[in-house]
Amino acid sequence: QAGSLIFTEAQTIALPFRSLNRPFVFATSLLVLEKLARNLRTFGLDVSFPLTNFLKGLNPKRVLVADEPLGGHVMVIEDLIFDKTEVFYTEKVAKIAELLTELLPSEEREQGTGRLLKEGLVILPDKEFLDLANRCLPVQARIKLTSGKTASKWQSPDGDTEKGNLWYEEFVSPDSLFAFFLMRRPGAKNQDPVGDFFNLISKGHVDISKVQLGGNETVGYGWCWWNSILQPEDSHQQGGLT
């Protein structure tokens, strides 16, 4: 039945930023992770994905890293410089990084993106993470040329006029990590659309491993790995995490 299944917003979990300590790091903040933990509790998934347990006691004013060699050293992320007295390694963050790799497709958890996430997760103070997210997302120049290879107005020898265009697009960085939830729409005739959805995936009837969202497909935008990881036992009353 159309409309039985509700997809929540895709919540930001971690964004990749350039760093002098590593080619790039996956940055997040306690505010972001606490929101995810609250949503997990809301949908009854906190037992299977115990993020809340690892967030307790973390200092929101420190830069917390998942890889021990990064602790106690100066850290540079984009144009932000953190003194070595601000950067701390804690096993809890390493556990969080390991837990977040479960959001990735299984073939990427032990190598590739999974390895980079485990070694490069950095929990920043909320203000600094917001600052990076506002200022440091990639901006791509796009251009539409006329037949005269100009971006401005051009007139052909026959008198026809064409208009080019130059514009800029801000887009989400490749390797950004998001999570969203599935739930049954109240009043839907289908009593277990979440369970049906997971069954279709598990039996291979629907392939959601690679999904393209939004426009600009021809220039490579919007391609996502989807990975359904959690389904509660009472799925018709709660939701799944993807």
| 3-55 residue pLDDT tens | 888 888 999 999 999 999 999 999 999 999 999 999 998 888 888 888 999 99
Burial profile 138-149: b = 16 or more Cβ within 10 angstroms, e = fewer: eeeeeeeebeee
Structure tokens of 242? Answer: 């993807």
| pLDDT at residue 65 tops 90 | yes
Tens of pLDDT along 186-206?
Answer: 888 888 888 888 888 877 777
- Residue carrying the six token digits 């039996």: 203
Amino acid 235: pLDDT: 44
Please answer whether residues 223 and 209 qualify as being in contact, where contact means their C-beta atoms are separated by less than 8 angstroms. no
User: Which residue did the predictor score with more confidence, 219 or 235?
Assistant: 219
Amino acid 84: pLDDT: 94
Structure tokens of 75? Answer: 């850290």
Burial profile 160-187: b = 16 or more Cβ within 10 angstroms, e = fewer: eeeebeeeeeebbeeebbebebbbbeee
Cα separation, 239 vs 236, in Å, equals 7
The secondary structure element, H or E, covering residue 194 is helix 193-202
